[in-house]
Amino acid sequence: MQDIIQLLPDNIANQIAAGEVIQRPASAVKELLENAVDAGATEIKLLVNDAGKALIQVIDNGKGMSETDARMAFERHATSKISNIDDLFRIKTMGFRGEALASIAAVAQVELKTKRDEDEAGIYLEIENSIVKKQEPVAAATGTSIAMKNLFFNVPARRNFLKSNPSELRHIVDEFIRVAMAFPEIFFSLSSNGQQVFHLEKGTLKQRIVQILGNNYAAKLVSVQERTDYLDISGFVGKPETAKKTRGDQYFFVNNRFIKSAYLNHAVMSAFAAMIPKDSFPMYALFIDLDPAQLDINVHPTKQEIKFEDEKIVYAFVQSAVKHALAQFSITPTLDFELDASIQNMDAVNKPATDEHRSSASSSSLFATFTQKNKAHFIEKRSELTHWKDFYEKPVSVDTPSFTPLEIPLMEKAVIAEAPSPHCTPAQLHAAYIVVQNEKGYLLINQQNAHERILYERFAAAVSGKAIATQQSLFPSTIDLAPADAVLLAELIPDLEQLGYKLEPFGSGTFVINGTPADVEQQNEKMAIEKMLEQYKHFSNDLKFSKREKLLRSLSLQRSVKAGNILSCKEMTALVDELFLCDIPNATPTGKPTYMSFKKDEMDRMFGR
């Protein structure tokens, strides 16, 4: 019988390895940016075309490579950072696996131009399908330029799994931000299809955060700075009023490497307890620096998940450092007239910190142990840590129930039976509920939930049929967004036009609002769009929704009339009538009830009648 086991050819082996390392254009961006940082560059430029599918190019002014190193860099397991097994436990650099360039060369057409300062000429390489096609001397500046073209050109099945250009560009922006945030002393730029998305000058970490996340953070960052014999923690957290409904602006770095950690996120969230609403998430960019021997960064292919030798100690340090920073901040609270009312009324915000509060925050047994030299390992066990996962909320499921054809007619009959009596006068309770009589009793309608259902069905009809009319703005306004949000809004413009919005990109994260839906009362459109984007990102936690579905849900939730709005009799009547013309009048798109039905015979029994 013939032997059947054989060694894979190098190019096939590289393609298989590439599947783990290069999952999408953003994966290659991460690897190339990290290599540029490791090369000692002070200026790094990223250029992408077609969301990285056609081109990803990174140009740096780092130390460059020799001719031999340039060839060797594309071999599997080739690295300049590891020479023996012990080096794996002392890693301080970003890239180190020795697979990234080999993987990129296996699934893209690569052009490399590199030169060291001491060399008269540089070296130019063309590599395709792991094979060097061209190698020749070239005039070049000191540093490296590497371009990968036509990603997955030889693996069409992988290319077909890539998302839309705006979606892939958002992933690229995410990876770019994570590297640029970690190295504020390096100049970074990002251009997409010839248009500049980011231009980040060298500066402090605070300046870099504001450059990336927007000017609204300029005066709303609290410095976190704690040094111990075990680890150092530095960075910034946002003041309580900057908390959002999504987790987007949250960054943890360990030895300057971006990581994801639900456990450490819980430590920060617990430090903010009672200072922000439970369904809100604070902004933070925190850097943990500790001995590499105290952690393992090889637990995940992307190196975004790591394992600490003693994670409870790190948790305690993070929680205490953030608590201490917030206690210092609350000594002199700032007055901000734009605070959300629910936040402004909280004790933690509107009352100054007393000596007792400050003493409690900075002199607890945890903090005392935290600050004593050589006492890191004596931190007492905290029972609260055992339930940390309960605090880190999973995305709320917002499935709309599916029904059989038989169930749908039965539901329709039930809804018709519950419809309000004609010509009855509705009444409003607590500026939040509408009471209206029907044949069998009365309905208690939640005005926001009902309006949300009405708007959702109106918007759904608009995007799939006749567009909503637009009211042109006499005086067009502009909205300035952080680059990541600008990329997101640009992706949504075609669908927003169907819904009555006329938005026009104006460069550098600015959009002109030329028109708004004609059937919606005019309001602060800038704020409305910002809130809609925030809600959209919240729904983005659930990947099973389409882009359009997330937009419809976000816009209907954001535009719905909120509790606290006093409605006229005419407005209440119109809202009730429209609700019962909906296909599914008894629930919001996210499954919340729009009304409750109360029977007259049940009320009679309550009163002994």
184-240: per-residue pLDDT in tens?
Answer: 999 999 999 998 999 999 999 999 999 999 888 988 999 999 998 889 999 999 999
3-state secondary structure of 30: helix
Torsion sign, CA atoms 30, 35, 37, 43: negative
List strands edge to edge, sheet with 441-446: 427-429, 433-437, 441-446, 595-599
pLDDT at 285 (0 to 100): 97
Q: Alpha-carbon Rg of the chain, whole angstroms?
A: 29
Contact residues for 599 (Cβ-Cβ < 8 A; gap 6+): 440, 441
Instruction: Tell me: pLDDT of 81 over 70.
Output: no
Q: pTM for the complete prediction?
A: 0.68
Nearest to 343 by CA among 448, 220, 250: 220
Q: How many CA atoms are closer than 13 Å to the CA of 547, on its beta-carbon side?
A: 15
Contact residues for 295 (Cβ-Cβ < 8 A; gap 6+): 254, 255, 306, 307, 308, 309
- Using an 8 Å Cβ cutoff, are 245 and 535 in contact? yes
Q: Mean pLDDT, the chain, as a whole number? A: 80
Taking residues 443-456, what's their average pLDDT?
94
Please give the span between the terminal C-alpha atoms of the chain, in angstroms, as a whole number: 92
- The CA distance from 378 to 340, in Å, is 41
Question: Strands 284-290, 510-517: parallel, antiparallel or unpaired by DSSP?
Answer: unpaired
H-state helical runs in 419-568: 447-464, 483-498, 525-539, 547-559
Contact residues for 246 (Cβ-Cβ < 8 A; gap 6+): 281, 534, 537, 538, 541
Q: Structure tokens of 343?
A: 């936040």
- The CA distance from 231 to 240, in Å, is 26
239-277: per-residue pLDDT in tens?
Answer: 998 888 777 789 999 999 998 888 899 999 999 988 888
Contact residues for 329 (Cβ-Cβ < 8 A; gap 6+): 222, 239
Residues in the chain: 609
Instruction: Tell me: pLDDT of 39 over 60.
Output: yes
- The CA distance from 315 to 227, in Å, is 15
pLDDT at 335 (0 to 100): 41
- Using an 8 Å Cβ cutoff, are 321 and 233 in contact? yes
Contact residues for 16 (Cβ-Cβ < 8 A; gap 6+): 8
H-state helical runs in 83-155: 100-107
Query: Percentage of the chain with pLDDT > 70?
Result: 76
For residue 112, give the DSSP letter: E
Contact residues for 186 (Cβ-Cβ < 8 A; gap 6+): 37, 41, 42, 43, 44, 180, 202
Most confident of 26-35, 395-404, 503-512, 549-558: 26-35
442 phi/psi in degrees, rounded to 5: -155, 165
**Any idea which residue has 């996210």 for tokens?**
590
288 phi/psi in degrees, rounded to 5: -105, 125
Please give the biggest Cα pair distance in the chain.
103
**Any idea which residue has 């248009």 for tokens?**
195
| Number of neighbours of residue 317 by Cβ within 10 angstroms | 24
16-30: per-residue pLDDT in tens?
Answer: 655 556 889 999 999
- Residue predicted with more confidence, 387 or 63: 63
For 181-215, what is the HEC assignment? HHCCCCEEEEEECCEEEEEECCCCHHHHHHHHHCH
- Using an 8 Å Cβ cutoff, are 189 and 36 in contact? no
What the chain holds in terms of domains, given with CATH numbers, is: 10-200 (3.30.565.10), 205-391 (3.30.230.10), 407-598 (3.30.1370.100)
Taking residues 562-585, what's their average pLDDT?
92
pLDDT at 383 (0 to 100): 43
**Any idea which residue has 């209907």 for tokens?**
556
pLDDT at 85 (0 to 100): 43
pLDDT at 542 (0 to 100): 55
pLDDT at 467 (0 to 100): 83
199 phi/psi in degrees, rounded to 5: -140, 95
- Using an 8 Å Cβ cutoff, are 313 and 381 in contact? no
Taking residues 403-428, what's their average pLDDT?
66
Question: Strands 295-296, 307-308: parallel, antiparallel or unpaired by DSSP?
Answer: antiparallel
Contact residues for 475 (Cβ-Cβ < 8 A; gap 6+): none
Instruction: Tell me: pLDDT of 530 over 80.
Output: yes
- The CA distance from 221 to 235, in Å, is 9
Nearest to 536 by CA among 592, 474, 583, 489: 489
